[in-house]
Structure 1
Amino acid sequence: MREKVYEPYEVIETCLLAGKIMLQSGAETYRVEDTMIRIAASYGINQAHSYVTPTGILFSIDGVEPTKLVRILERSTDLQKVTQVNGISRTISSGVLSPNEAIQKLKEVEREPHAYPVWIQIIAAAISSGCFMLMFKGDWTDFVPACIAGGAGFTCLLYFNHLLKVKFFAEFSASLVIGLVSLLFVTLDVGKELDKIIIGSVMPLVPGLLITNAIRDLMAGHLVSGISKGAEAFLTAFAIGSGIATVLSLF
């Protein structure tokens, strides 16, 4: 137990900021709740309660302090930030950081840009598209078309997601571009197997982390978060399928 007693509102702000960063960066629900409870316990508050959903965090402690809510409007995948917050949480548990110092470190993590710049993300998506195409027993002659289609689709996803702020339309537009580019390559006899090119190119759009987190949350007993993440993953899959189906039905 710490000798120094900290103000409850400082502890609450620290816990909420840590949970917010983790949830926005793609952490599982149970991991977010566990981290917040551990931070509170490290500051001498053993009766803390957290309730986390994909769109919000509720946190309270026994006493006169009111329950606080943080809304989560944007979510992405940045596991480096999740690791950094976990590191700060361990440092807090060791008794090194005060709440104010922890908040400053957490704000630095929150302000950090994405782990990789956009151009690296696009190149990685393009190369992985070609590799996925090969994994699905595609021909080496379709490697470059798959890379270009996958890179173009991922670029479209990032652009429309930034422009529209509506994930469904961004994913639908990205899959539409992938279908059009793949069809163009096959029409020009640059590519051979349309289905393999399309399958490899859409793989960077597939919500693998969402599906994994949904299953893990359901297994951990977080039914609301698990079902909602599963629904979000289904909506993403539906958007991808709709974009490809639109191209194939029109051409």
Structure 2
Amino acid sequence: MEKQSSYTYDIIQVCLLAGKVMLQNGGETYRVEDTMTRIADACGAINSNSYVTPTGIFFSLEGPELSTQLIRISERTTDLDKVTKVNSISRRISSGDLSIQDAHIELDRLDKMTERYTFPKQLIAAAIASGCFLIMFQGSWNDFLPAVIAGGGGFFSVNFFNRLVPVKFFSEFLASFVIGLLAVLFVSTGLGEQLDKIIIGSVMPLVPGLLITNAVRDLMAGHLISGLSKGAEAFLTAFAIGAGIALVVSFL
């Protein structure tokens, strides 16, 4: 009985850890629940129940003794590579190629893994992407460099302000304000031509594209609470970006 209870505890820990890694790194709510259920089923725990929200995961196993645990999700980022690796671990468990103990070790290592790309690399990528977005929106090549600088400055600002004030809304608002100031500075000094195109290209790295996509997919899958909460978070981000730009433009 004690051995069975220990095995049940291991199953719950692996399922919660898998769900945590996926949810913290951009996985959709329905995908998190499906992965946890598949892992539990593969381990012989057929009567499993999971309830996932953007801020927490509830998971329970029914048996001789009902066992339920909760894990809190306080930080979320985007790393779809980790989501893919959790799916791979889940499939290996289902096929019998990975034991529950080894799966816990691999998931724990994956959870503690730091970002694959350093901040300077992310900054360069965001800056170049800003210039490319400007061209995609039919901007002038003369504005490519201003968009690169403004986009890089905005991406640097959102990370800098987020460390000073750990409130996502204010960091995004201040970052978009910086982008607006840089764009106006380039146009006023003659280094830039189209103010609107520079601003649009520069704010694109801040736009919550994945969050909007996940909100829609969760709503379509019937996860109304998660879909609405993610949609609200995406709306606040969009509002913060728009408010920061509007504040700069209002002084023109």
Scaled by the length of structure 1, the TM-score of the pair is 0.96
- The equivalent of 1:151 in structure 2 is 152
1:131 aligns with 2:128: no
1:192-231 matches, within 5 Å, as 192-231=193-232
Q: How far 1:157 moved relative to its partner? A: 1.0
Please say if residues 42 and 92 of structure 1, whose CA atoms lie closer than 8 Å, have aligned partners that are also in contact.
Answer: yes
1:20 aligns with 2:20: yes
- The equivalent of 2:101 in structure 1 is 100
- The equivalent of 2:10 in structure 1 is 10
Scaled by the length of structure 2, the TM-score of the pair is 0.95
Please say if residues 80 and 115 of structure 1, whose CA atoms lie closer than 8 Å, have aligned partners that are also in contact.
Answer: no
Please say if residues 207 and 237 of structure 1, whose CA atoms lie closer than 8 Å, have aligned partners that are also in contact.
Answer: yes
- Consecutive unaligned residues of structure 1, counting only runs of 5 or more, are none
1:43-122 matches, within 5 Å, as 43-63=43-63, 64-122=65-123
Counterpart amino acid of 1:204? Answer: P
1:95-153 Cα deviation digits (max 9, x unpaired):
13222211110011011111321111111111111111111111110000000000000
Q: Quote the Cα distance in structure 1 between the aligned partners of 2:250 and 2:121.
A: 33
Q: Quote the Cα distance in structure 2 between the aligned partners of 1:138 and 1:200.
A: 9
Q: Quote the Cα distance in structure 1 between the aligned partners of 2:7 and 2:31.
A: 25
Counterpart amino acid of 2:32? Answer: V
Counterpart amino acid of 2:204? Answer: M
Q: Quote the Cα distance in structure 2 between the aligned partners of 1:77 and 1:220.
A: 21
Q: Quote the Cα distance in structure 1 between the aligned partners of 2:97 and 2:69.
A: 26
Q: Quote the Cα distance in structure 2 between the aligned partners of 1:237 and 1:7.
A: 45
- The equivalent of 1:42 in structure 2 is 42
- The equivalent of 1:240 in structure 2 is 241
Please say if residues 126 and 148 of structure 1, whose CA atoms lie closer than 8 Å, have aligned partners that are also in contact.
Answer: yes
Counterpart amino acid of 2:193? Answer: K
Structure 1 segments, 4+ long, off by >3 Å, are none
SS of residue paired to 1:197: helix
